[in-house]
Homo-oligomer: A and B are copies of this chain.
Amino acid sequence: MAGLIDLNSTTEEEEETPSSGSSSNSFGSNALISGSVCLELWNACAGPLISLPKKGSVVVYLPQGHLEQVSDFPSSAYDLPAHLFCRVVDVKLHAETGSDEVYAQVSLVPESEEFEHKLGEGETDADGEEDAEASEKSTTPHMFCKTLTASDTSTHGGFSVPRRAAEDCFPPLDYSQQRPSQELVAKDLHGLEWRFRHIYRGQPRRHLLTTGWSAFVNKKKLVSGDAVLFLRGEDGELRLGVRRAAQVKASATYPPPCSQHLNYNTITEVVDAISMKTGFNVYYNPRASSSEFIIPFRKFLRSLGYSFCAGMRFKMRFETEDAAERRYTGLVTGTSELDPLRWPGSKWKCLVVRWDDIDTSKQHGRVSPWEIEPSGSVSSSSGLMASGLKRSRMGLSAEKQEFPVPNGVGTSDFGESLRFQKVLQGQEISGFDTPFGSIGGQNHPSESRRVFHGSIGSRGHDLRNSLVNSEIASKGIGFGESFRFQKVLQGQEIFPSPPYGRAPATTEAREYGCPGIFDGFQVPNFRNGWSTMMQSNNTPVHRSASVQVSSPSSVLMFQQAMNPVAEFNSVYNGHNQEEQRILQRTPYVSESDGRKQTPSSFCDRNFSREDYGGMNSFNQHGTSRSPHSSQSALRGGQDMVTSCKSSCRLFGFSLSEETHVPNKVDNSTPITSTLNPGASLFPNVEPRFHSKPPLMSAAVGIPCTKEWAFDWRGERMESCLQG
Contact = CB atoms under 8 A, between A and B. Distances in A.
Contacts of A269: 265, 268
Nearest to A261: B262
A365 interface: no
A271 B269 CA distance: 10
A525 to B, nearest CB: 28
Nearest to A260: B258
Nearest to A266: B265
A96 B97 CA distance: 13
A96 B255 contact: yes
A265 B261 contact: yes
Interface in A267-325: 268-269, 271-272, 278
A257 interface: yes
A120 interface: no
A188 B435 CA distance: 53
Contacts of A376: none
A254 B265 CA distance: 21
Contacts of A271: 272
Interface in A361-413: none
A76 to B, nearest CB: 8
Contact of A268 (B94, B262, B272): B272
A98 interface: yes
Select the residue from A255, A258, A262, A269 with max chain B CB neighbours within 10 A: A258
Contacts of A258: 255, 257-258, 261
Nearest to A255: B97
Select the residue from A98, A257, A265, A269 with max chain B CB neighbours within 10 A: A265
Interface residues of A, number: 19
Contacts of A257: 94, 96-97, 258
Quickly give the copy total for this chain: 2
Contacts of A254: 97
Contacts of A278: 76
Contacts of A266: 265
A95 to B, nearest CB: 10
Nearest to A256: B97
Select the residue from A94, A254, A269 with max chain B CB neighbours within 10 A: A269
Interface string A95-135: 01110000000000000000000000000000000000000
Interface string A201-244: 00000000000000000000000000000000000000000000
A212 B141 CA distance: 47
A265 B259 CA distance: 12
Interface string A131-161: 0000000000000000000000000000000
Contacts of A262: 261, 265
Nearest to A273: B268
Nearest to A264: B265
A160 to B, nearest CB: 28
A201 to B, nearest CB: 31
A376 to B, nearest CB: 45
Interface in A67-100: 76, 94, 96-98
Contacts of A255: 96-98, 258
A280 to B, nearest CB: 8
Contacts of A265: 261-262, 264-266, 268-269
Nearest to A252: B97
Contact of A272 (B97, B261, B264, B272): B272
A269 B265 CA distance: 7
Nearest to A258: B258
Contacts of A264: 265
Select the residue from A76, A97, A268 with max chain B CB neighbours within 10 A: A268
A257 B105 CA distance: 12
A264 B281 CA distance: 11
A80 to B, nearest CB: 13
A154 to B, nearest CB: 20
Nearest to A267: B265
Contacts of A97: 254-255, 257
A66 B240 CA distance: 38
A271 B261 CA distance: 17
A536 B185 CA distance: 71
Nearest to A254: B97
Nearest to A99: B255
A266 B254 CA distance: 23
A76 B264 CA distance: 21
A269 B272 CA distance: 9
Nearest to A78: B272
A96 B255 CA distance: 8
A107 to B, nearest CB: 11
Nearest to A74: B279
Interface in A35-94: 76, 94
Contacts of A272: 268, 271-272
A94 B257 CA distance: 10
Contacts of A261: 258, 261-262, 265
Select the residue from A97, A261, A264 with max chain B CB neighbours within 10 A: A261
A502 B266 CA distance: 59
Contacts of A98: 98, 255
A98 B99 CA distance: 12
Interface of A: 76, 94, 96-98, 254-255, 257-258, 261-262, 264-266, 268-269, 271-272, 278
27 contacts: A76-B278, A94-B257, A96-B255, A96-B257, A97-B254, A97-B255, A97-B257, A98-B98, A98-B255, A255-B258, A257-B258, A258-B258, A258-B261, A261-B261, A261-B262, A261-B265, A262-B265, A264-B265, A265-B265, A265-B266, A265-B268, A265-B269, A268-B268, A268-B269, A268-B272, A271-B272, A272-B272
Q: Which 4 residue pairs of A and B lie closest in terms of their CB atoms, listed nearest first?
A: A265-B265, A97-B255, A258-B258, A268-B269
Given A261-B262, A265-B266, A272-B272, 7 more contacts: A76-B278, A96-B255, A255-B258, A258-B261, A261-B265, A262-B265, A265-B269
